[in-house]
Amino acid sequence: MFARLLLFTTLLAVSLAYFLSRETSTEHAPYVQGRNKTVLFLTNSEHGLSNVHLATASAILENYPDVEVYFASFSSIEQKLERVSSFAKIKSPHARAIVFHGLTGLTFVQAIAKEGRSFISPPGWRGIATLAEHIQLWISPWTFEDHVYLYKELGSIIDEVDPAVIVLDSWFRPAIDATRKRNRQHAFITPNTLVDDFLGIQPLWTMLWKYPA
């Protein structure tokens, strides 16, 4: 009886795999080609989320002075961008200054606070447990109305700048949606991935064998 059941299951699986393999896959439409040598960063302004983007922008200015760098974020990051531009000119006199586009919507932290939460959590396992419990909020804390507001604001900037590539923050969901809606070439830069953050709470000690360093 068991052998027959196993044979039936195997045949069913093979048939299903064959059927699915015959389906024509939907090809992704070619990305919109923006202006050459133009990069647009769409990021949050919080230190831990944006520092890696600032470092990347600095490296571009110093090593590729003919590239135009645009930055769309919130007002608290503007002074940092000015310092990055000034430092780049010291290293490379022909480097261009970063062009800043200020956003007027709610920041990442403001959106979390609006939901009655705080991004600050206790150290250790307790803090990780709190973060994991509310991970959906951290990934996209904006309400529908606030999300749409930023989405439209960012979309207008993308259309105006018309960049060759957009550099995204994986924790800035409105920017991700606006970029993908316009089918723009893009890349993600992030200081941490979810795998890095949640190894310790995976089942069966998978952190020791499934996710090697």
Least confident of 34-43, 65-74, 87-96, 186-195: 186-195
Stretch 66-89: mean pLDDT = 96
Stretch 125-132: mean pLDDT = 73
Stretch 171-187: mean pLDDT = 97
pTM, to two decimals: 0.77
Our CA angle for 152, 42, 73, nearest 5°, is 80
In angstroms, the CA 10 to CA 213 distance is 36
